Amino acid sequence: MIGSPMLLAFFHRFLWWADHGVLFYFLALNSFYAMLLILSIPELWRHWRLADDEHLSRLITSEALPALSLLVPAYNEEVTITASVLSFLTLEYPKFEVILINDGSKDGTMDVLLSEFDLYEVPPAYPRVLGSQRVRAVYRSRRHSRLIVLDKENGGKADSLNAGINAARHEYVVAVDADTLIEPDALLRLARPFVLGTSVAAVGGTLRVANGCVVKMGRVVDARVAPVWLSGCQVVEYLRAFLFGRLGWNTIGGSLIISGAFGLFRREYLLAIGGYKTGNVTEDMDLVVRLQRYLYENNIKAEMPFIPDPVAWTEVPPQIHVLARQRERWHRGLIGTMITHRDLLFNRKYGAMGMVAIPYFFFGEMLAPLIELFGYVITVLALALGAVDLRFALLLLVCAIGYGSLLTVWAIVLEDLSFRRYRRRGDLARLLLFAFIEGLGFRQLTVWFRLQAFWKYLRGSDSWGVMTRQGFGAPK
Amino acid sequence: MTALLVLIVIAIFQGAFLLMLVVFIGVRRQVERQRRQGFLSARQAISEPLSAWLSGSGEIESVVVALRALPAAAVVGFALHLARTTLPLDARDALAASLRQEPWVRRTISRASSRFWTRRLDAARCLALAGTPDDSALLETLLNDPVPGVAVAAADALPRVADARLVAVVLDRMVSLPTVMRLYLQGILRELRTIVEPLLLARLSTRAAPRALAHWVELAGALELPAVFDVVAQLAVHQSVQVRVAVARALRRSPRQQSVDVLKMMLHDADPTVRATTAHALGELASPTVLPDLLGAARDVDWRVRYRATLALSQLGEAGRTALRTLRTDSDRYVADMAMLISGLSDGALLEMVEA
């Protein structure tokens, strides 16, 4: 049957169309990336110029800035919690409080907090607007008046953040992970939209990879690029994603990502949308989509900009199986969010979010691993059946990988032109090296991990998986 | 074959572009290093004539000459930083007068109408460094600049230009600005209190729009102008909640019996936000006569009023603390809870909560 000339011709034709369809998809997607990159350049330049301005520096250190509540959910962080809390308490910002939410840790996190910060119990005298697991006790510190600790029953990160939002006294809240290392002036930089007169619903800062950096007392004192393949590829991946990906969205509008590890939100809006949704494995994206939706539906003119220079450092998975869990979970969360909010797809009522952002995340992010796999399969088939020339296929692969490298190197150029965190030549060389080798293996690995998310989503899994960390320190 | 050729061309272009970007990073780093070294040595060259001038053994001209040697891109920022952090007020004025004749200063200021916002930003910064009353028209343009960063820099030049008409423009404009910008302008206007006072008095009228009036009342409080407080007190019965809240907030900066009496009256306002703000203000004024009033407010139906009143009691010394202890056993659970919370706080926590 397969040998039938008609069927073979049909199959050849199918392969040709499928191949070109996949090619067109990647051309469109990469053109969109290129557009984001071009849009990000003036944005980056603007922020770089303003970050350097004497007047704005004076303004942002003045009493005029709004007070912030830093929400820090912690689960089993016994070893690092003291350094983390101290680093949060010593951030440069005129008025802020740190609300640490112990999410029913099974280790000695609460005991460490009680003794290290001389905590004393106070009555929970605030209205509980958002639902959360029972808060067992509220503590304040005798040593650090800015510190408040909520000891609650385990309910997950979203549940903890909701408890923190209830207890927050200030107009704006900043959600950070307990193991995130925030640069001392990051909050001041994050407040730039207020200074520039923007009506703000949320602000996102940049996350960078801390693996390989020298860390002392919860601060990155020397930014380095890890010499390890897996971590190094994630360094350039984060640079690309944050430095031009998210900056480009500032101009388009309708940005759907503010990292859960470092983002500022107006408390009033969080309360209005019912806070974080528990049970969603990527609570940050779900929150931002619901927030954007709320703003559109209520005709509220408030922006959700991304600012490139407030930097927080995070540890990325140094082992493949941990990376697999993380990427699978992220993609499962994306699928869940896209399915939940499918009515927004090409919905004009929601402006740039409905017409650009959601379609991009649906077709360009959510479906990307399926289409990439399909592309690999039909290319191999076409090669096997002689429908495609081997030289053509290889050259196409070189061009595809080259294009990815080009975008990444461009992101490195932007980083070097503006904020230049990596000053050593060796680190620059490593960045460039990882930019070239990221497309050879790492990218294909993440495609595989993301494919698994579809299977798990269909099975109804809502597990987070264990995210083991090695901890920060000097480069090995 | 044609498609293959196209791909080959794309691959070559990509390779060349990649190579160009890598070379660009290297060259740019080298240029930046040289520029930085040049800047550092030029900056070093300023310290000697600057010390000589400030100690009276040198001339200001040598400082101006040394500044002239700095790279054009850095000179405005550096001179501004120098004036702000190193020079006393009279020296700052002398430097401003000397710099005003410098070609680079005149050139930078003349770009105030440039279509590039970065040039307008530099012009605004330069006006903050060496502006004169003659620059009033230019500054007005910059104050209304669509780029907020430029407007912020221009606002900093207001004390140098010290023009009553411009201050009036700012007073009228600030009511529509976001909170952070408004508070920042308040800080700048503190340096122009004598100019602001008559302008503010003319605006504090019940006929003004409530939103604008509230912001002017807020400014009156921030500037602590005694003559203006009398007018502010009269607005305590204004029909707008926003204005009454602003009055309560402003009067906490007016430690006079008249203000305390007005605030005591406001503690019975129909609106809970006004009552909470008033309780806060009474705590700040810490007059012992307000104890019974705050005790009453600590039993208010609204939790924000109870919170602020209980906090205010903690600011009244021993008498207040005794009253707090009594409230801890109050039959109303919510009143007792709040008293328990506040009386259990450390001094640092109390201070932090009062300020928030």
| Residue A470 in contact with partner chain B when CB distance is under 8 A | no
| Residue A394 in contact with partner chain B when CB distance is under 8 A | no
pLDDT in tens, B80-101: 878 877 788 888 888 888 888 8
Please report the pLDDT score of residue A59 as a whole number: 62
Q: Which residue is closest to B17 within chain A, CA to CA?
A: A406
Residue A454, min C-alpha distance to chain B (Å):
34
Q: Which one of B24, B186, B345 has the shortest CB-CB distance to A140?
A: B345
Q: ipTM above 0.90?
A: no
Judged by CB atoms closer than 8 Å, whether chains meet at B352 and A97 is answered as: yes
Question: Which of B180, B307, B327 to mutate against chain A (most A CBs within 10 Å)?
Answer: B180
Residue B99, min C-alpha distance to chain A (Å):
19
| Residue B2 in contact with partner chain A when CB distance is under 8 A | no
Residue pair A66/A194 in contact by the 8 Å Cβ criterion: yes
pLDDT by residue for chain A (476 residues), tens only, comes to 455 778 878 887 887 788 778 878 888 888 888 888 888 888 877 777 776 665 556 666 667 788 999 999 999 888 888 888 998 998 988 889 999 999 999 988 999 999 999 998 888 878 889 999 999 999 988 888 889 999 999 998 999 999 999 999 999 999 998 888 899 888 988 888 877 767 889 999 889 999 989 988 778 889 999 889 999 999 999 998 887 778 888 888 777 888 878 899 999 999 999 999 887 777 888 999 999 999 999 999 888 888 888 889 988 998 999 999 999 999 999 999 999 999 999 999 998 899 999 999 999 999 999 998 888 888 888 888 877 788 888 888 888 888 888 889 988 988 887 778 888 889 999 999 999 899 888 988 999 999 999 999 988 776 666 556 566 654 44
Residue B22, min C-alpha distance to chain A (Å):
8
Residue A409 burial (10 A CB sphere; 0-12, 13-18, 19+): buried
Please report the pLDDT score of residue A473 as a whole number: 53
User: Which residues of A are less than 8 Å from B178 in CB distance?
Assistant: 194, 197-199
Q: Which residue is closest to A94 within chain B, CA to CA?
A: B356
Residue A55, token pair as written in the block: 């007047």
Residue with tokens 């990000």: A40
Residue pair A395/B11 in contact by the 8 Å Cβ criterion: yes
Q: Which residue is closest to A405 within chain B, CA to CA?
A: B18
Q: Which residue is closest to B156 within chain A, CA to CA?
A: A55
Residue A114 burial (10 A CB sphere; 0-12, 13-18, 19+): middle
Name every residue whose Cβ is closer than 8 Å to that of residue B207 and which is 6 or more positions away in sequence: none
Short-list A221, A157, A261, A268, CA closest to A421 = A221
pLDDT in tens, B107-129: 999 999 998 888 898 899 899 88
Query: For the packed helices A320-340 and A283-297, what is the interaxial angle rounded to 10 degrees?
Result: 20
Judged by CB atoms closer than 8 Å, whether chains meet at B156 and A55 is answered as: yes
The CA-CA-CA angle for residues B2, B7, B9, to 5°, reads: 95
Q: Is A262 helix (H, G, I), strand (E, B) or coil?
A: strand
pLDDT in tens, B137-164: 999 999 888 887 788 888 888 988 888 9
Please report the pLDDT score of residue A468 as a whole number: 60
Judged by CB atoms closer than 8 Å, whether chains meet at B11 and A413 is answered as: no
Q: Which residue is closest to B1 within chain A, CA to CA?
A: A392
Residue type, B127: L
Residue type, B317: G
User: Which residues of A are less than 8 Å from B14 in CB distance?
Assistant: 399, 402-403, 406
Q: Residue B27, Cβ neighbours under 10 Å: how many?
A: 10
| Residue B14 in contact with partner chain A when CB distance is under 8 A | yes
Please report the pLDDT score of residue B88 as a whole number: 82
| Residue A416 in contact with partner chain B when CB distance is under 8 A | yes
Judged by CB atoms closer than 8 Å, whether chains meet at B181 and A197 is answered as: yes
Please report the pLDDT score of residue A475 as a whole number: 43
Residue pair A313/A210 in contact by the 8 Å Cβ criterion: yes
Q: How many CB pairs under 8 A join A and B?
A: 147
Judged by CB atoms closer than 8 Å, whether chains meet at A59 and B180 is answered as: yes
Name every residue whose Cβ is closer than 8 Å to that of residue B209 and which is 6 or more positions away in sequence: none
Q: Residue B19, Cβ neighbours under 10 Å: how many?
A: 11
Mean pLDDT of B195-212: 89
Name every residue whose Cβ is closer than 8 Å to that of residue B325 and which is 6 or more positions away in sequence: B339, B343
Residue A413, min C-alpha distance to chain B (Å):
6
Q: Residue B300, Cβ neighbours under 10 Å: how many?
A: 21
Q: Where does A172-219 have alpha helices with state H?
A: 186-190, 192-195
CA distance A430 to A407: 16
Q: Which one of A64, A409, A428 has the shortest CB-CB distance to B18?
A: A409
Judged by CB atoms closer than 8 Å, whether chains meet at A405 and B15 is answered as: no
Please report the pLDDT score of residue B288 as a whole number: 87
User: Which residues of A are less than 8 Å from B300 in CB distance?
Assistant: none
pLDDT, greater one: A243 or B286: B286
SS3 string of A295-363?
A: HHHCCCCCECCEEEEEEEEECCCCCHHHHHHHHHHHHHHHHHHHHHCHHHCCCHHHHHHHHHHHHHHHH
| Residue B11 in contact with partner chain A when CB distance is under 8 A | yes
Q: Which residue is closest to A97 within chain B, CA to CA?
A: B352
State yes or no: pLDDT of B72 exceeds 80.
no
State yes or no: pLDDT of B324 exceeds 60.
yes
Residue pair B328/B340 in contact by the 8 Å Cβ criterion: yes
User: Which residues of A are less than 8 Å from B10 in CB distance?
Assistant: 399
Please report the pLDDT score of residue A104 as a whole number: 93
| Residue B19 in contact with partner chain A when CB distance is under 8 A | no
Q: Which one of B28, B184, B356 has the shortest CB-CB distance to A62?
A: B184
Quick one: what percent of chain B has pLDDT higher than 70?
A: 99
Residue B57, min C-alpha distance to chain A (Å):
30
Residue B236, min C-alpha distance to chain A (Å):
25
Please report the pLDDT score of residue A62 as a whole number: 67
Dihedral Cα B42, B43, B49, B51, nearest 10 deg = -160
Contacting A residues, span 274-313, partner chain B, CB-CB under 8 Å: none
